Amino acid sequence: MKTFLTQNLGWKLLSLAAAVLIWISVAGEPELATFVSAHVEYKNLSPAVEINSDVVETVYLEVRGPSEALRLPELPRGSAVILDMAGIEPGQHTFTIDSTDVRLPRSVQLVRAIPAQIRMSLEHRATRTVPVEVTFADSLPPDLQVVEAAAEPRALAITGPASRVARVASVHTDPLAVQPEAGTTSYRAEAYVDDARVRFQDSPQVTVRVTVKASVGKR
């Protein structure tokens, strides 16, 4: 036992002194508090569930810790509020933010979050197919008119919160600027849906076949 205690005694004493110095330097740092902006992350949200409310993207965190730790660039970059959505069913839900939901450097502690709670509405995800309506810009002279316009595909699939998907009767193309000449021409157009929380399941691009003829009585 004596040999074990005295073996490499110099190195052991040096390590002990270094540990004491580090402890003194840390213990001697003043403890401060500050606010950091943390982005909100969601995990384990079921693919069959959609958020149907305003999304809180950032939360202000009041944190406390050694002054050196609060000055680290990793503090604002690495701070996050992580909400676990496992097992959450559709409906109104309130999430109270505490230290278990916050990612912070080891020596930094959470004092409070502003807002302290995040409330959101969740719904089942729904998908349905709706027709594409072609819209036109006012680009034709009076002696010409569009007599036929057909989009291909004629309908597109949309997805999102069930209540919002149910209210969408159709989607529209961007206004087409039709060439001022008689004949049939194909145009590429982008379709859009008015509800920001509803999206297309696939590409929203369509091909519109437009037939223009002389207006009646204008030949």
| Structural contact between residues 160 and 47, judged by C-beta atoms closer than 8 angstroms | no
| 216 or 186, higher pLDDT | 186
Tokens of residue 196, six digits: 């920001």
Reported as a pLDDT band with limits 50, 70 and 90, residue 174 is very high
The rounded mean pLDDT for the chain is 87
What per-residue confidence (pLDDT) applies to 4? 47
| Structural contact between residues 79 and 102, judged by C-beta atoms closer than 8 angstroms | yes
* 40-54 residue pLDDT tens: 999 999 999 999 999
Closest CA to 200 of 175, 150, 165, 151: 165
First to last CA, the chain: 115
Measured between alpha carbons, how far is 151 from 186 in angstroms, rounded to an integer?
A: 9
> Once rounded to an integer, what is the mean pLDDT over residues 58-67?
91
193, containing H or E segment: none
pTM over 0.85: no
What per-residue confidence (pLDDT) applies to 66? 87
Measured between alpha carbons, how far is 179 from 174 in angstroms, rounded to an integer?
A: 15
29 SS3 class? coil
* 176-213 residue pLDDT tens: 999 888 999 999 999 999 999 999 999 999 999 999 99
Strand order in the sheet with 102-103: 102-103, 80-84, 31-43, 58-66, 109-114
pLDDT over 60 at 85, yes or no: yes
Sign of torsion over alpha carbons 35, 39, 43, 45: positive
What per-residue confidence (pLDDT) applies to 215? 81
pLDDT over 70 at 17, yes or no: no
* 110-158 residue pLDDT tens: 999 999 999 999 999 999 999 999 999 987 888 888 999 999 999 999 9
Is the previous residue joined to 66 through a cis bond, with omega within 30 degrees of 0? no
Measured between alpha carbons, how far is 108 from 102 in angstroms, rounded to an integer?
A: 11
